[in-house]
Amino acid sequence: MPKITFQIEGAASVIIEAQIGDNLLELARRANVAIDAPCSGNGSCGKCRVKLLEGQVDTIPSRHISEEEFAAGWRLSCNCKVLGDCTVFVPDIASAYQSRMKTADLSSPKEVAIFEECQAQLKESGICFENPFRAVNITMAEPTLDDTMPDIERFTWALQGELGVEKVEVPFCVMVKLAHTLREFGWTVCVKGQLMGSTFRCMEVCDPADTAIVGCAIDIGTTTVTMVLVDLTNGKILAKGSSGNGQIRYGADVINRIIEQGRPGGKKKLQDAIVKETLTPIIANLCKSANINAKSILRLCVAANTTMNHLFVGVDAESVRMEPYIPSFFGWEGLLAGDLKLPANPLAPVLIAPNIGSYVGGDITAGTLAAGL
């Protein structure tokens, strides 16, 4: 089988096995090599340029490549088919979106003012801000031969006494590590969860020194993703950052991305590009900046246009572009971070909301955060 070597400028090379006739751009996508292709490989944009260093490929002339550039080895990867072993150079600009991540300076009065003004306007409109999430420290008596009460009963009774609730729910992912955590911290632990009337649903049992409860607001744009972490106890911004959207290499516009999603394996590729390649690194970066554990994120709110929301959750978006243009959903409640494999508390609710039309640019994240968390 032919071997294709992608020499990525400023990064390690990637080698992938291919079949004769395989499309070079598709091979790059299969190998997770980022090549900018706004037209999703239709040959119309001229952006997916690579340089052939060794070997041969089957290609056709393109108005985007001059005779001098062609002689120097430049090709459009979407127009190249594999003939055998070859090595191609991938310019750094093709994967530039991966290095566009940045963390905002929260000392900027403008950043804080946008958020606080949005909060104030929502309060004036009569929207009530409530925080159902809690973090409490509880202490239990250590078991003895004379006190053999099971851990779950000891834990439940302590929480009922501390919170004054009638019922405590302990999901499986919390239960499986309960015994170890209680003993690791000497029977004094921090319990984080959601208060629902007279019921408290546990989401995390951890170090009593870790009492942070955090909300995460995400604005998914077609080219840029912006995110904010906020302290749910006082509404203060903890960290804010942005990055290029990893889906850009599958098309610059939503129509091309829907077309790409409809190809074999397309839904997973588009979802991985936003969840694994874009959101996961941003969350890790912001958690590090704010010095918090990602499992302290107990609530997420995501705003995007209808197509981007479908691609984010891995739902077929084909009906969005076909008459009569009916989406599977606009807003969606009931999702959990664990369903989407987001690096947050796996039990954290994820609210999917359509973009708020009255906000522009950075304002949308503030609006999402204030309205959804």
For the domain bounded by 133-206, which CATH number is listed? Answer: 3.10.20.880
- Strand runs labelled E in 164-296: 167-169, 188-196, 199-206, 214-220, 224-231, 237-244
DSSP one-letter string for 124-185:
HTTPPP---EEEEEEE-PPPBTTB---HHHHHHHHHHHHH--SEEE--HHHHTTHHHHHHHT
Give the separation between CA 120 and CA 107, rounded to whole angstroms. Answer: 20
Give the separation between CA 373 and CA 216, rounded to whole angstroms. Answer: 8
What is the strand order of the sheet 14-17 is part of? 14-17, 3-8, 81-90, 49-58, 74-76
Give the separation between CA 70 and CA 58, rounded to whole angstroms. Answer: 13
CA 3 → CA 50, 54, 56, distances in Å? 16, 11, 12
Amino acid found at 362: G
pLDDT of residue 223: 87
Residues of the chain with CATH 3.30.420.480: 100-129+212-372
Residues of the chain with CATH 3.10.20.30: 3-97
pLDDT of residue 172: 97
pLDDT of residue 345: 98
pLDDT of residue 54: 95
pLDDT of residue 129: 72
Give the separation between CA 299 and CA 212, rounded to whole angstroms. Answer: 12
User: Domain 100-129+212-372 classified CATH 1.10.760.10?
Assistant: no
Q: State phi, psi for 138 to the nearest 5 degrees.
A: -130, 150
pTM: 0.77
Residues of the chain with CATH 3.10.20.880: 133-206
Q: Please, what is the Cα angle at 358 between 103 and 225, to 5 degrees?
A: 25
pLDDT of residue 329: 92
- CB proximity list for 199: less than 8 A, separation 6 or greater: 165, 166, 167, 168, 169
Dihedral, 28, 31, 33, 35 alpha carbons, nearest 10: 20
pLDDT of residue 94: 44
Helix, strand, or coil (residue 85): strand
CA 136 → CA 208, 273, 277, distances in Å? 8, 37, 34
pLDDT of residue 213: 97
Q: Give the pair of three-digit tokens for residue 365.
A: 């994240």
User: Which stretches of the chain drop beneath a pLDDT of 70?
Assistant: 93-108, 111, 355-373
Tokens 């949308």 found at: 364
CATH number (3.30.420.40, 3.20.20.140, 3.10.20.30, 1.20.1540.10) of 3-97 reads 3.10.20.30
| Cβ contacts of 103-109, under 8 Å, gap ≥ 24 | 103/239, 103/240, 103/241, 103/285, 103/286, 103/289, 104/239, 104/240, 104/241, 104/242, 106/237, 106/239, 106/240
333, 351 contact by CB (below 8 A): yes
